[in-house]
C-alpha cells in the first residue's frame, strides 16, 4: 500500500512534488477509503485520478514511480560499474542541470510502514535512507551520503538494522543502491522492502501491456474463469478463450532482417515459448468461431490486456499505477474499472489504483472524494505542478466538478489559441 510519493528534479518536474493517498477529514464515500490497521498510519484511499493538459507532466509523474522501481530492482544485479542510472534532470533551468533527482516513497509492506528514498545523478547515488515504523516511533535503519570533498561515502547504521553491514557496504557500487545490494547478498531484514517494489508495485503506460500478462494469468488454471467473468462484466461478447504455447519459428522472422540480428534473436529466444491467444464467439447458429486477438477492436484488446493486471492487483492487494487509462475505452468502461477498487467485495485486500486520464465524465463527487482527484499543470517556466482538488474546497452536491474543471476553475487545462493557416 502506498501512503505518499514525492519526486524532485525529474524530467518536467523541477521542485519537489508530493502526492498523497492519505484520507482527508471528510466522511463522504467511505467505501473509497480504508483503514490499514498499521501503527502510525492514518486511513488511506483506494484510488486517485490525475487530470491535466497534454504535455503537462502527468506521464512524467507515472514515469518517476516507474524509474524509482527500476533502479531499486536493477541497479545492483543488472548493471555494471560505470553504467548510467536512468535519472533525467529538469533541463530548462541552469540551477538543476546535472543536479541529482530525488525519489521518496512511504508505503506499507508486511504490516509495517517504511519511508525509503534516494537521490542520484546518472553517474552515482548521492544519498540513500530508510526508516521503519514497526512501533509508533520511527527507527532509522541506515543513511548513506556521498562526501564529494573526500570522494567517499559516509554511512550511518543504527542498532535496529542487523546483518553483515560491512560486507554489504563494501559491495555497494557508486551507481547501485545499498538496499538492492544488501538484498542480493541475503539481507533478510531488507527483503520485504525490495519484494514490495518487485511484487506489489505495478507501473505501466498505455502500451505497457499487450495481453501477455492476462495470458500468463489464465495459464495458471482457475484464473481463466475470472478473466472471462471480467470480460463479460465489461460487456464483451467473448464466450471463451483459447491459449496455445508455441516456440519461436525462425522462418517467421523477416527475410530482410540482418543475419547477425536474426542469429542474436534466435539465440536469445532459444527454448522459450510464447502464448498465442484466440477469442471465441458464438455464431448465429451457435457454433464456436475463433478470432485472433488482433482481429478484435482496440477497446476489446485494451480491456483484455487490463484483465490480468486488474484481477491480480485486486486479488492480492497490490498497487497499480497506469498512464492514460481512458485510451480506447468507453467512459462507462473506465467507470467500471475504477469502481472495482471502491467495492469491498471486489477489493477485499485494499488494493490501490492511481491513474492519469482525460475522461471527465467520471469527474463526479458521487464517484470520487475531493482528496482522490488531482491535477497536473505546467507554469510559465514549464515546470510541472501536482495538486489536489481539495485545495479548492468545492461544495458537496452543489458543484459540478466536470463543468468547473472544463471551465478552467481548477486550472490544468490546455491553452488553445486560434491557428492561422498558410495563405490566410
What is the span of the domain harbouring residue 160?
1-206+323-416
Cross-strand bridge partners of residue 247: 273
Specify the range with the lowest mean pLDDT, choosing from 69-83, 97-111, 410-424: 410-424
Same domain for 167 and 289? Answer: no
Number of domains in the chain: 2
Can you tell me the mean pLDDT for 384-411?
91
**Chain-wide mean pLDDT for the chain?**
91
HEC assignment per residue over 98-155: CCCEEEEEEEEECCEEEEEEEEECCCCEEEEEEEEECCCCCEEEEEEEEECCCCEEEE
Confidence band of 302 (pLDDT split at 50, 70, 90): confident
**pLDDT at 248 > cutoff 70:** no
**Is residue 219 over pLDDT 90?**
no
The pTM (predicted TM-score) of the whole model is 0.90
**Which CATH number does the domain housing residue 201 bear?**
3.40.50.300
Residue 424 lies in a domain: no
Please give the average per-residue pLDDT across 387-414, as a whole number: 90
Residue 77, SS3 per DSSP: coil
Q: Is residue 283 part of a domain?
A: yes
Q: Which strands, in side-by-side order, build the sheet including 152-157?
A: 17-20, 2-8, 101-109, 112-120, 125-133, 139-147, 152-157
Predicted confidence at residue 245, as pLDDT, reads 75
| Interval 411-421 mean pLDDT | 75
Q: Note the pLDDT of residue 114.
A: 98
Task: Find the mean pLDDT for residues 357-366.
Answer: 93
CA angle (222 as vertex; 242, 277 as ends), nearest 5: 20
Q: Do 275 and 341 have their domain in common?
A: no
Angle at the Cα of 237 from the Cα atoms of 235 and 242, rounded to 5 degrees: 125
Mean pLDDT across the stretch 17-27?
95
Q: Is residue 392 part of a domain?
A: yes
Give the residue among 393, 354, 361, 397 at the shortest CA–CA distance from 376.
354
Amino acid at each position: 500500500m502506498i501512503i505518499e510519493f514525492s519526486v524532485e528534479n525529474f524530467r518536467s518536474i523541477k521542485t519537489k512534488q508530493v502526492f498523497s493517498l492519505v484520507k482527508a477529514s471528510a466522511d463522504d464515500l467511505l467505501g473509497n477509503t480504508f483503514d490499514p490497521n498499521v501503527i502510525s498510519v492514518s486511513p488511506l484511499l483506494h484510488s486517485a485520478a490525475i487530470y491535466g493538459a497534454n504535455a503537462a507532466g502527468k506521464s512524467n509523474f507515472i514515469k518517476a514511480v516507474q524509474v524509482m522501481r527500476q533502479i531499486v530492482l536493477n541497479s545492483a544485479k543488472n548493471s555494471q560499474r560505470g553504467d548510467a542510472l536512468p535519472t533525467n534532470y529538469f533541463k530548462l533551468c541552469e540551477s538543476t542541470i546535472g543536479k541529482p533527482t530525488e525519489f521518496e516513497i512511504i508505503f506499507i509492506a508486511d504490516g509495517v510502514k517504511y519511508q525509503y528514498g534516494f537521490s542520484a545523478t546518472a553517474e552515482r547515488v548521492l544519498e540513500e535512507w530508510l526508516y521503519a515504523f514497526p512501533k509508533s516511533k520511527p527507527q532509522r535503519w541506515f543513511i548513506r551520503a556521498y562526501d564529494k570533498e573526500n570522494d567517499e561515502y559516509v554511512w550511518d547504521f543504527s542498532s535496529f538494522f542487523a546483518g553483515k553491514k560491512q560486507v554489504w557496504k563494501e559491495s555497494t557500487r557508486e551507481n547501485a543502491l545499498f538496499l538492492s545490494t544488501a538484498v542480493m547478498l541475503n539481507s533478510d531484514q531488507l527483503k520485504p522492502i525490495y519484494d514490495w517494489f518487485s511484487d506489489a508495485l505495478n507501473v505501466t503506460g498505455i502500451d505497457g501491456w499487450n495481453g501477455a500478462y492476462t495470458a500468463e494469468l489464465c495459464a495458471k488454471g482457475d484464473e481463466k474463469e475470472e478473466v472471462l467473468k471480467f470480460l463479460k462484466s465489461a460487456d464483451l461478447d467473448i464466450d471463451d478463450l483459447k491459449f496455445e504455447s508455441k516456440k519461436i519459428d525462425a522462418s517467421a522472422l523477416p527475410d530482410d532482417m540482418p543475419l547477425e540480428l536474426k542469429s542474436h534473436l534466435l539465440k536469445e529466444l532459444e527454448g522459450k515459448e510464447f502464448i498465442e491467444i484466440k477469442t471465441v464467439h458464438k455464431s448465429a447458429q451457435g457454433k464456436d468461431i475463433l478470432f485472433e486477438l488482433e482481429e478484435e477492436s482496440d477497446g476489446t484488446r485494451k480491456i483484455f490486456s487490463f484483465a490480468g493486471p486488474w484481477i491480480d492487483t485486486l486479488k492480492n492487494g497490490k498497487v497499480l499505477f497506469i498512464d492514460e487509462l481512458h485510451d480506447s475505452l468507453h467512459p462507462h468502461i473506465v467507470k467500471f474499472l475504477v469502481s472495482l477498487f471502491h467495492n469491498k467485495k471486489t477489493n477485499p485486500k485494499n488494493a490501490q489504483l492511481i491513474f492519469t486520464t482525460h475522461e471527465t465524465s467520471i469527474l463526479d463527487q458521487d464517484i470520487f472524494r475531493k482528496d482522490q482527484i488531482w491535477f497536473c499543470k505546467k507554469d510559465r517556466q514549464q515546470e510541472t505542478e501536482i495538486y489536489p482538488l481539495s485545495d479548492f474546497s468545492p461544495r458537496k452536491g452543489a458543484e459540478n466538478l466536470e463543468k468547473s474543471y472544463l471551465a478552467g476553475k481548477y486550472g490544468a487545462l490546455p491553452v488553445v489559441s486560434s491557428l492561422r493557416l498558410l495563405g490566410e
